[in-house]
Amino acid sequence: MIDVQDLVVSYGTATALEHVTLTVAEGEMVALLGPNGAGKSTLAGALAGLLEPASGTVRVRGRLALIPEGRQLFPDLSVADNLALGGWRSGRRDPALVYDLLPRLAELAGRKAGVLSGGEQQMVAFGRAMMSEPDALVVDELSLGLAPNVTADLAAHLAELNRSRGLTVLLIEQNARLAFDLCDRAYVLESGRLVTEGPCAELAGDPRVASAYLGGAIS
Amino acid sequence: MSAFLTYLLNGLAVGCAIALIASGLVVIHRVTGVVNFAQGTFAVVAGLCVSSLLGLGIPHGVSELAAVTVAAFAGLLAGVAAIGRRGTTPLSSLIVTLGVGVLAYAVEIVLWGDQPRSAPGLAGSVTLAGARVQTQHLLVIGVTAATFVLLALFFGRTYLGKALTACASNPYAARVVGIDVRRMGLLAFALGGLLGGLAGVLVTPLRPISFDTDVTLIVNGFAAAVFGALTRPVVTLAGALLLGVAETMAAGYGYGSHQLEVALGLMIVVMIVQASRRSTLSQEVT
């Protein structure tokens, strides 16, 4: 579904991603872990077609939607308008489908997106991505700045969509615990290079991963 | 008293024409971040076109429509020059629009010569509360009011209008959902051309237009747009009306040669006030 081969992305003379190879099969939920500045959001941008690779290939079968880091809503527009614009690619204008999925959004429909709480904004970003009726979803930092119960709620929705509709998910996270709970496999990206990959159960037992991302303890 | 009312209504009509120019500036700036100094050119192109088309015996309505369409196309071309190349900064684009304006001088002189041209508008006048007003002035006011209502409906109610607002609100997010921000910018330039063209066809019957009339138009339009911080159409309209009335009053009461200075003076005062207000705000934040 998502197939990245030998990808290099540069900003001017600085290389953000160096020869990254990563695949996500149809219906799979895969995590991408890494510290700040590792190049995670660059990879997200390349997958969404927002950045041109310097070399290598990015192949996506079907439609891919991105929930970008920091939500990136249209603050001056209403929630309903934010959602409607999410359907730019699919041609879907009516957010009813998203309201079924996330009923809270129906209550917020008339509010301006810029005045909502972080959790509500993330929910709008989630709904907006779903409006494009994606086959694959890239979620860049789902949990960043959110209360644990809000994150858990959104994660549950994500897992449900993966189960019921076979939505392919690439979860880009710093919160390894959340990523390991949700996903079967994970990649670890550091300074633009993939340093390790494997099933989450194995990675959680890797002392290097445990010390860097799980605070040294494996729960 | 009736002279005052006449000046007031004439001033409102002048202000409306300024508002159309300024609204084009605002539309383009909101969507692309570019201050388009070729905005006055669109009005000149439309004004010169309408004078030629009417001169050829093409009927009213068709001539005006064709002239406005040409202006919209000129807007699109200016947009291609200003933002067509990926990664052009708004400041570079501003310089390009200045260049487009100068290039347009050459084209206009070749096609129409350097003498002012006029065009017949709505003939006659009406008396309102003792004040005599040219019918063309009322037409300008009516068309401007309708245009602002349509613009508000377009941006507030239509999907395309909201997509344009989205580009202004968060260009990165617009790209994330798949909106082609550059194409939307070109659309904004075409819309700016159309609004400028509308001003041109309405003004040409009132005051003859020549290739360099764009300077007066852009100074006035920019003054009004700055009043609305280049982003707020309604405040821009208010600024334009104020400017139109102030200029007409100045001319009416014997300071006719200082009209442009009134616009420039007002613009400078507004810019100073806005700059000081902004620095006060940033001081409060820090």
pLDDT digits (tens, 9 = 90+) for B51-74: 999 999 999 999 999 999 999 999
| Residue A46 identity (one-letter amino acid) | A
The structural domains of chain B, with segments of one domain joined by +, span 2-285
Separation in Å, CA of A34 to nearest CA in chain B: 22
- Closest C-alpha among A190, A178, A172, A187 to residue A136: A172
CA-based nearest residue in chain B for residue A81? B162
Report the residue from B170, B175, B178 with minimal CB separation from A74: B170
Other beta carbons less than 10 A from residue A137's beta carbon = 23
Taking a C-beta distance cutoff of 8 angstroms, is the pair A108, A124 a contact? yes
> What pLDDT, on the 0 to 100 scale, is given for residue B282?
54
Taking a C-beta distance cutoff of 8 angstroms, is the pair A196, A209 a contact? yes
CATH topology assigned to domain A1-62+135-218: Rossmann fold (3.40.50)
pTM, full prediction: 0.88
Residue B111 tokens read as 């096609």
Which residue is it, tokens 């077609």? Answer: A49
> What pLDDT, on the 0 to 100 scale, is given for residue B12?
93
Q: How far apart are CA A6 and CA A50, in angstroms?
A: 18
Q: Which residues of chain B have pLDDT under 50?
A: 285-286
Mutating which of A69, A88, A115 best tests the B interface, going by the most B Cβ atoms within 10 A? A88
Q: Would you call B176 and A48 a contact, using CB atoms and an 8 Å cutoff?
A: yes
**Whether A68 contacts chain B with CB within 8 A:** yes
* Mean pLDDT, chain A, whole residue set: 90
Report the residue from A74, A89, A93 with minimal CB separation from B178: A89
The structural domains of chain A, with segments of one domain joined by +, span 1-62+135-218, 71-133
H/E stretch holding B9: helix B2-32
Q: How far apart are CA B238 and CA B240, in angstroms?
A: 5
Report the residue from B168, B169, B179 with minimal CB separation from A88: B179
Q: Would you call A76 and B159 a contact, using CB atoms and an 8 Å cutoff?
A: no
Other beta carbons less than 10 A from residue A107's beta carbon = 11
Q: Which residues of chain A have pLDDT under 70?
A: 214-219
Enumerate the H helices of chain A as residue ranges.
40-47, 79-86, 96-101, 103-108, 118-130, 148-165, 176-182, 200-205, 207-213
Interface confidence (ipTM) of the complex? 0.91
Dihedral sign, Cα of residue B154, residue A72, residue B236, residue B93: negative
CATH topology assigned to domain B2-285: ABC transporter involved in vitamin B12 uptake, BtuC (1.10.3470)
> What pLDDT, on the 0 to 100 scale, is given for residue B279?
63
Mutating which of A11, A74, A132 best tests the B interface, going by the most B Cβ atoms within 10 A? A74
Report the residue from B159, B165, B176 with minimal CB separation from A72: B176
Mutating which of B176, B179, B180, B181 best tests the A interface, going by the most A Cβ atoms within 10 A? B176
Residue A200 tokens read as 């989450």
> What pLDDT, on the 0 to 100 scale, is given for residue B97?
95
Which residues of A fall within a CB distance of 8 Å from B168? 76
Coil, strand or helix: which one is B36? Answer: coil
